[in-house]
Amino acid sequence: MFKSKFFIYFAITAMYLFSFDASGYSVGATPLISNFGTISKGEIITNYIFVATDSEEKIVLSTSYIQPHHNIFMESGTGEKFKYDPMELSFEDVSSWVEIKDNIKFSSSSSVSIPVPKEYNLDPNAVIPVKISVPLDAEPGIHVLSISMSSNLPKKIGRPTVNLVALTRPSIIFRVPGKVSIDGEISQIEGRRTNKNSVYVDYHVKNTGTITVPFEAKAIKIYDEYDDIIFEKENLGTMLLGDSDLRKSTVLWRDREEIKDGKYKVKIALDVRGKKIYKTGFIIVTSDISPAGIATEDGDNIISKDVSAKTCSTYWFWIIFASALIALIYYNKQEYAQKEDLLKAFVASFIIILLLNYLYCLLI
């Protein structure tokens, strides 16, 4: 009887000590989007994000920079609410500009001495200091950063605890003064054959504006000599270009039938925040599989030409045949010619015809 009671007490105690205890708390930051105003190039400022929790126990809040969702800040409603123009939003990476205080300890009974703006409607338990150092070469316009938060409660001896935590993800916007412009150009179009049924079409995109923005390649069209569309492709992808950045993009032109050598007109369309950028150029497709091929500007004038794209070969069979024929004619016309004379005539003819072949290749 005693043993059975002891076993029951032991089982209950073990279940209590080693069972999981579920609890939950929240950590909220306000406002979810803070406008830090204008920060000039070379300026350093420190501002605060206010935090509150319902946890009665001390928690440790870990913070770090996280890449913001820029598309959210492109919405016109968000811009109107926080008083900025979404068209001035720069996608420039600001992670190296930001320092965020980490390992902040607080609970629901903690309080802060920093004045809280009345419109926040919050009695905060802690603050997150955020230091922003704007470099001298910063782009103008609106910049965005977001803060990742995670929290932990001190470990308890005995029963393991499963903590359900609700966290927010605050973001910060600020403006760097300066003229904001959005523009770009397609500076060059090139064609290079990969095999008889496919050609790579390369085009070079340059950001001629003042802020980092995504360039959307909307479409490419290729026309034959009769100005009929023989290849068309849409939604070619997006590239993020900073101020004065130049980047090459490639489209594979593939056909079921053989793509003939010749000159083809190419039209490319880009979109940069609603601004349409077009380019019409010409490529010349050759039989050779060359690294560059031929590129042209608008119109018929060739602006660059790659020698490796020329079609010229050494015709060994005909060189040997013509050399042997000349040697035989020479041998038959010489009444006292020897076999050594025949060999000399063949070698001399071979060298002369080979040199003429290479001279022809240089002149075409």
pLDDT for position 1: 52
pLDDT for position 328: 74
pLDDT single digits (tens) 150-173: 887 755 544 444 444 557 789 999
The pLDDT > 90 percentage for the chain reads 46
Angle at 295 between CA 291 and CA 301, to 5 degrees: 150
Rg of the chain, C-alpha, whole Å: 37
pLDDT single digits (tens) 211-247: 999 999 999 999 998 999 999 999 999 999 999 899 9
Q: Where is pLDDT greater, at 15 or 345?
A: 345
Maximum alpha-carbon separation in the chain: 137
Distance of alpha carbon 242 from alpha carbon 40, whole angstroms? 19
Half-sphere exposure of 40 (CA within 13 A, CB side): 2
Alpha helices in 62-176 (DSSP H): 70-73, 76-81
Per-residue DSSP letter, 74? T
pLDDT for position 48: 93
pLDDT for position 271: 96
Distance of alpha carbon 343 from alpha carbon 331, whole angstroms? 10
- Rounded to two decimals, the pTM is 0.68
pLDDT for position 315: 67
pLDDT single digits (tens) 248-294: 999 999 998 889 999 999 999 999 999 999 999 999 888 766 544 44
Q: How many other C-beta atoms lie within 10 A of the C-beta of residue 157?
A: 5
Asked if the model's pLDDT at residue 186 lies above 80, the reply is yes
Q: Check: CB of residue 168 under 8 Å from CB of residue 29.
A: yes
